[in-house]
Amino acid sequence: MATLLQVLPALDKGGVERGTVDLARFLVREGHRAIVASAGGGLVHELEAAGATHLTFPLASKNPLTIWKNAARLADAIQAHGIELVHARSRAPAWSAKLAARRTGRPFVTTFHAVYGGHQHRLKRRYNAVMAEGDRVIAISDYVAQHVREVYRVGPQVLRTIYRGVDVEEFDPARVDARRVRTLSERFGVPAGKKVAILPGRVTRIKGHMLVTEAVALMERDDFVVLFVGPDTAGGGYTVELRERIKAKGLGEKIRFVGACDDMAAAIALSDVVLAPSVGPEAFGRVSVEAQAMGKPVIVTDMGGLGETLLPASTGWLVPAEDPKELAWALDLALSMPAEAGQRLKERARHWVMDNFTADRMCRQTLAVYEELLKGRP
């Protein structure tokens, strides 16, 4: 049994936070002791219910003095709890975690969850570089791994690629009953007989809502509706621009904003196709994987790590981010798919996710990285 520490800014909702809790739960199940240090948040209760321990420190702070004090706090915690390895998942807490790990002689692991901007500037590059200074450095996609190799010169003896995993029990079409889907359909106001495309995600420019709007404007068919499923951004300036564009194109009946959704599995089940049309590089593509786990075709843009999440022309379509015509073409094909072809795609997509993107696979590969460093240690 090993005692293992993960460090991140906070434990609110998000992909990094969900992966942290998934890994802690897995470690406990495998007989290890899992400890997470953060500033706290809504997922602490779930973490502790899984049998892990939470330590509350102000790790979301970027203040240099607080980072220094957090290093001392973490070093004390390492000694007090007998922690054998430290795993940092974000830059500010990684500085504290690195200092604590070095002071106490513990192995130090980092995960690049994103391609951090500003690396062309010396000070920002130095701030980011802590994530490349682990004894092992994990990248969440080949796209991120390439960035880490090229920008931070991390070699193959240190760098490991581990795809993010999804909960294939939560995102299992067999577990989503018709009542949940019907409830969402009524809430979203989906017209009877209409096919449904959804774009899950916060309404921000990078997520490609405007690209979808331009694509839908090119389509002559009117047997479908596109749902923008996600919360608005603070200020809402982009949303105003987007709504004006939808109105100008006469698409008010075809495109709808339905707000945040706390049952994404049911929202995907409601859909005929799921869109992930980002117009800026994405480190990975969780939405694409969740959709395929539910057996749904996906249309994703060829940006960053998104293209690694599907089998083009087999489980979905990969289109250029700057071409609404290609997106319109792919959306038309998806909505025209015969039932038999759809069933074959459903089976392929589910198998693809089960083979490559499960939370269990992610956790086992991460534990294997830990074991590389702990092997032979007293």
Q: Each residue of 5-15: pLDDT tens digit?
A: 999 999 988 88
* pLDDT confidence bin for 378, thresholds 50/70/90: low
CATH architecture of the domain with residue range 3-165+358-374? 3-Layer(aba) Sandwich (3.40)
Token look-up 């990684």 returns 94
| Residue % of the chain over a pLDDT of 90 | 92
Asked whether the beta carbons of 131 and 137 are under 8 A apart, the reply is yes
Mean pLDDT of 60-66: 94
Q: What is the pLDDT of residues 18-38, one digit of tens each?
A: 999 999 999 999 999 999 999
| Residue % of the chain over a pLDDT of 70 | 98
Residue 355, Cβ neighbours under 10 Å: how many? 9
pTM: 0.92
Radius of gyration from C-alpha coordinates of the chain: 22
Residue 369, Cβ neighbours under 10 Å: how many? 21
Q: What is the pLDDT of residues 98-123, one digit of tens each?
A: 999 999 999 999 999 999 876 677 77
The strand order across the sheet containing 298-301 reads 255-259, 224-229, 195-200, 273-276, 298-301, 316-319
Average pLDDT of the chain to the nearest whole number: 95
CA–chain centroid gap for 238, Å, is 22
pLDDT of residue 223: 96
As a whole number of angstroms, the distance between CA 191 and CA 185 comes to 9
Would the pLDDT of 356 be above 80?
yes
Q: Which residue, among 78, 87, 71, has the nearest Cα to 27 in the 3D structure? A: 87
Residue 199, classed as helix, strand or coil, is strand
Distances (CA, A) of 87 to 26, 63, 116, 356, 366: 15, 21, 18, 23, 10
Task: Indicate where the chain has its CATH 3.40.50.2000 domain(s).
Answer: 3-165+358-374, 173-356
As a whole number of angstroms, the distance between CA 78 and CA 186 comes to 51
pLDDT of residue 13: 81
Mean pLDDT of 340-355: 97
Enumerate helices (H) and strands (E) in the chain, giving the number of each.
Answer: 14, 13
pLDDT of residue 236: 72
Tokens of 159: 């760098």
Tokens of 71: 């290093």
**SS (HEC) of 155-184:** CCCCEEECCCCECCCCCCHHHCCHHHHHHH
pLDDT of residue 118: 67
Would the pLDDT of 210 be above 80?
yes
Fold of domain 173-356 = Rossmann fold (3.40.50)
Q: What is the pLDDT of residues 222-264, one digit of tens each?
A: 999 999 999 987 667 899 999 999 999 999 999 999 999 999 9
As a whole number of angstroms, the distance between CA 100 and CA 108 comes to 9
pLDDT of residue 235: 65
Q: What is the largest CA-CA distance in the chain?
A: 69
Residue 77, judged by CB atoms within 10 A of its CB (0-12, 13-18, 19+), counts as buried
Asked whether the beta carbons of 375 and 320 are under 8 A apart, the reply is no
Mean pLDDT of 316-324: 95
What are residue 312's phi and psi, to 5 degrees?
-55, 135
Tokens of 351: 């198998």
pLDDT of residue 232: 85
Asked whether the beta carbons of 87 and 5 are under 8 A apart, the reply is yes
Length of the chain: 378
DSSP letters spanning 241-269: HHHHHHHHTT-TTTEEEEE--S-HHHHHH
Tokens of 112: 């690049």
The enclosing H or E element of 276 equals strand 273-276
